[in-house]
Amino acid sequence: MKPVVLFPHQANIRETLPHYSDVAIVSQSILSVLDGRSAGSWMHIDITEPIEQLNSHLIDMMEKGLLSFEVLSYIYEARPLGKIANAPDDLHSGNLKIQESFENKLVYFPEHDVAIAQVPFYTASDNSWPEFHCFAKTVDSAFAFLTAMNELLRQVLMNNITYLVDTEDGVHRRNFGEHAIVDRKDVMLSDSVKQDIFRSIDEFFKADGQFFRDYGVPYKRGILLYGSPGNGKTTLVKSITGSTEAPVVYWQITEFTNSYTVQEVFGIVSRLAPAILVIEDIDSMPDFTRSVFLNTLDGTQSREGLFVIGTTNYPEKIDPALINRAGRFDRAYEIPAPSKSLREKYLRKLDIKHIFSDTELADMAKLTKGLSISQLNELYMSSALNWHYEGDSGYAKRIEELQKQNKRAEKNDWEDPELSIGFY
């Protein structure tokens, strides 16, 4: 039996409820348009929380032609009837685009028989506030629409990376196209550590975590990667995300990260599960947000189907509560400076022009103790330039300079006028 509405849309509603009528007249007009497009008993459905998280993704899918829609009407003639914005994937404000929007529009999705509008309601006191409204003939059809959008979004993001950045105005999102795949064999780590990490990630996404159900363990996983800058944490993450069939979300923590953005980020990612959430430089989490973050990591529902990867260059700054309690980060892996054998292997891989002999490569591996992967890249680059112009790599001098830089960094004596850095 359908519930009775005590105050339906009627011509005399203003006499009965004068303030409510300001909202009712807008609602009545919208429902009338919808009934003209698809006859039936339309109703308002509250989807505030999910639509706030889906909004920008729905717009993106509409603009790319992945989701059919019709603009049935505008709401107010004196409100914007179109929108021009900066291109979202451009850091510069010069590139503009005509952008789809739900603002002041009644947008209908014919395949789902559902409509959405962001309506500013006005009152007798001249106040207004925008509200997202979903219109459907049943609550079940609205639920089915959101479920279908979640799955469509997951498929769209399968070969993309979503970047979430906490800003003063909330969480901003950027989606980038297919990410470059780093081959797993190119990750400079010991075989045992690589096997442990990749075996864990592969089993997590195999058959949507059947392993976890078979063994009766919660379907969530977290690993923490720590070590000095430049030793391959980012490369390892890229090899994981680029070779795994799952949506990938990178979350950039800033000074604006707060309890609301923590909840929003996990809300977004959980809709894509099973998925990967990468939190780089996790040590930069503001102190006032840590308790909320830790509680969210503890939550079974918020973590269901999520493989969380945290990275830090400064493990000493990490809150011990992150790794001293099971279920937050299950394992912590040190990403150390490469060993002698790994340094030689990596330099040999870089040397595609064969400018170094086997003896020189062995000598370079010996002399570069303590240098990071990124410093080995710089060594090869500067040596190759020297070889290209002068016919001599001069690698010994380059290594000496890099070792001096390391010592200066350890002693923090960059101000010494007798020392120099860069070109001279």
> Taking a C-beta distance cutoff of 8 angstroms, is the pair 304, 269 a contact?
no
Question: Within this chain, do residues 379 and 281 fall inside the same structural domain, yes or no?
Answer: no
CA-CA distance, 253 to 6, in Å (whole number)? 48
Residue 227 lies in a domain: yes
Which token pair is 134?
């979903």
Residue 356 lies in a domain: yes
pLDDT of the residue at 73: 95
Which token pair is 12?
């005399």
Question: Within this chain, do residues 375 and 289 fall inside the same structural domain, yes or no?
Answer: no
pLDDT of the residue at 358: 94
Question: Within this chain, do residues 184 and 81 fall inside the same structural domain, yes or no?
Answer: no
Question: Within this chain, do residues 79 and 178 fall inside the same structural domain, yes or no?
Answer: no
pLDDT of the residue at 31: 94
Tens of each residue's pLDDT in the chain, 424 residues: 677 888 887 778 888 888 788 788 888 999 999 999 999 999 999 988 888 778 878 888 898 899 999 999 999 888 888 888 776 554 444 678 788 888 899 999 999 999 999 888 776 666 666 788 899 999 999 999 999 998 888 888 776 778 888 888 778 877 665 555 678 887 888 888 888 989 999 999 988 888 888 888 889 888 888 888 888 888 888 888 778 888 888 898 889 999 888 988 888 888 888 998 999 888 888 888 888 888 888 775 568 899 998 888 877 777 776 666 666 788 888 888 888 998 999 999 999 999 999 999 999 999 999 888 889 999 999 999 999 999 899 999 999 999 888 787 665 553 444 443 333 3
Question: Within this chain, do residues 36 and 51 fall inside the same structural domain, yes or no?
Answer: yes
Question: What sections of 321-357 are H helices per DSSP?
Answer: 340-350
Which token pair is 229?
């800058």
Q: How far is CA 372 from CA 343, 375, 390, in A?
A: 9, 5, 26
Question: Within this chain, do residues 312 and 396 fall inside the same structural domain, yes or no?
Answer: no
Sign of torsion, CA 84 87 93 97? negative
Domain boundary among 301, 334, 367: 334
Residue 132 lies in a domain: yes
pLDDT of the residue at 268: 82
pLDDT of the residue at 88: 56
Q: How far is CA 8 from CA 16, 128, 132, 354, in A?
A: 11, 23, 21, 82
Which token pair is 88?
């979202």
Domain boundary among 157, 182, 207: 157
Which token pair is 248?
């990938």
pLDDT of the residue at 331: 86
Residue with tokens 């890099």: 402
Question: Within this chain, do residues 109 and 92 fall inside the same structural domain, yes or no?
Answer: yes
Question: How many domains is the chain built from?
Answer: 3
Question: Within this chain, do residues 365 and 321 fall inside the same structural domain, yes or no?
Answer: no
Domain boundary among 133, 157, 181: 157
According to DSSP, the β-strands at 306-312 and 170-176 are: unpaired
Question: Within this chain, do residues 366 and 279 fall inside the same structural domain, yes or no?
Answer: no
Question: Within this chain, do residues 317 and 183 fall inside the same structural domain, yes or no?
Answer: yes
Residue 141 lies in a domain: yes
Residue 35 lies in a domain: yes
Residue 3 lies in a domain: no
Question: Within this chain, do residues 288 and 361 fall inside the same structural domain, yes or no?
Answer: no
Question: Within this chain, do residues 345 and 237 fall inside the same structural domain, yes or no?
Answer: no
Residue ranges making up the domain that contains 295 = 171-334
CA-CA distance, 324 to 133, in Å (whole number)? 44
According to DSSP, the β-strands at 84-86 and 96-98 are: antiparallel
CA-CA distance, 154 to 175, in Å (whole number)? 13
What CATH number does the domain containing 227 carry?
3.40.50.300
Q: How far is CA 148 from CA 114, 145, 276, in A?
A: 12, 5, 20
Angle of the 259-272 helix axis to the 290-298 helix axis, nearest 10 = 30
pLDDT of the residue at 272: 84
